[in-house]
Amino acid sequence: MLIRISLILAVVAALAVGGINFFVVKDKITTLTTDRNTQRDGRVAAEGELASTKKTLAKTEADLKQTQQQLADAQSERDKAVADATAQTKRADQLTDKLAKTTQERDVAQDELAAYTSSGLTAAQVTKLNKTIKDMQEAMVALNEEKAVLMHTRDRLQSRLDQLIGTNPDVVLRADLKGKIMVVDPKWDFVVLDIGDDQGVKENAELLVSRDGKLVAKVIVRSLDKDRCIANVIPGWKLGDVIEGDEVSPAHPAS
């Protein structure tokens, strides 16, 4: 009898526990279902917003491409307009110069016509006079060139004579004479310069060698050609190594 009562109590207790568990599980299922539905609704809303954002982004990209194309077209039109304006300005300047030149030529022609009219000379006489003047001008140019050559030869011979008789040991060169060293022979201490007789260099003339404004050495011309010369480094005046490209100037410039 006692055993039956114990079994009944056990069954009743099991049923009570099962009922309690059923209600607990039911609440959990309801909560999970609600959470699932909430997450699903949120996901659907997010997907909708994403689709809308993608659509907006696509439209923005299309608008941006259109704007960029419009900007490129505008830039191209601006460049073309600038080029056209520059061409027109250049053309206008050319026409202005041409007009000024034509006006000047017209004025000269009018002056020449007035001079011819007032001179009382015939056309043949004017032509002959012009030829005579032109011939005289050409003769004067030739004489001036010959005079320059003779003066240069005289100065060179006088310098050589002064050196031979010892009356003028210092050879004077023009103050603006400048040159550079082309070749250096350190073994024999001689250099080749890029200036010569045509530039006014004279034999036995002394030249100062400098670099960056500092004196390097002094040389004396020993051999003279038309556009170059050979000079020796003067002992005692070598303050540093002479190199190609060093500048030279007269040690005794004309005052």
| Annotated domain spans of the chain | 1-120, 122-169, 179-250
- CA distances 183 to 201, 215, 222, 227, 246, Å, are 17, 18, 15, 14, 10
Looking at residues 217-237, what average pLDDT do you find? 92
What 3-state class would DSSP assign to 231?
strand
User: Per residue in 83-129, pLDDT tens?
Assistant: 777 777 787 778 788 778 877 877 776 777 677 667 666 677 767 76
Tell me: pLDDT of 135 over 80: no
Please tell me what DSSP assigns to residue 191.
E
Please tell me what DSSP assigns to residue 199.
G
Q: Dihedral sign, CA of 54, 56, 62, 64?
A: negative
Measured in whole angstroms, the distance separating CA 162 from the mean position of its chain's CA atoms is 52
Per-residue pLDDT, 155: 58
Options 1.10.3470, 3.30.530, 3.40.50, 2.40.10; CATH of 179-250 = 2.40.10
Can you tell me the distance from the alpha carbon of 135 to that of 139, in angstroms, rounded to the nearest whole number? Answer: 6
What 3-state class would DSSP assign to 211?
strand
Per-residue pLDDT, 151: 60
Can you tell me the distance from the alpha carbon of 193 to that of 226, in angstroms, rounded to the nearest whole number? Answer: 11
Q: What are phi and psi of 169, to 5 degrees?
A: -70, -25
Per-residue pLDDT, 250: 95
Range picked from 23-27, 55-59, 151-155, 176-180 for highest mean pLDDT: 176-180
User: Per residue in 33-76, pLDDT tens?
Assistant: 777 777 777 777 777 777 777 788 788 788 788 878 887 877 77
Say which residues have a Cβ less than 8 Å from residue 239's Cβ, sequence separation at least 6: 215, 216, 217
Cα end-to-end distance, the chain, whole Å: 156
User: Which residues partner with 217 through β-bridges?
Assistant: 209
Can you tell me the distance from the alpha carbon of 252 to that of 173, in angstroms, rounded to the nearest whole number? Answer: 6
Per-residue pLDDT, 241: 92
Lowest mean pLDDT among 36-45, 115-124, 147-156, 236-245: 147-156
Tell me: pLDDT of 167 over 50: no
Per-residue pLDDT, 4: 65
Can you tell me the distance from the alpha carbon of 196 to that of 203, in angstroms, rounded to the nearest whole number? Answer: 10
Looking at residues 220-236, what average pLDDT do you find? 92
The structure tokens listed for 173 are 């060169």
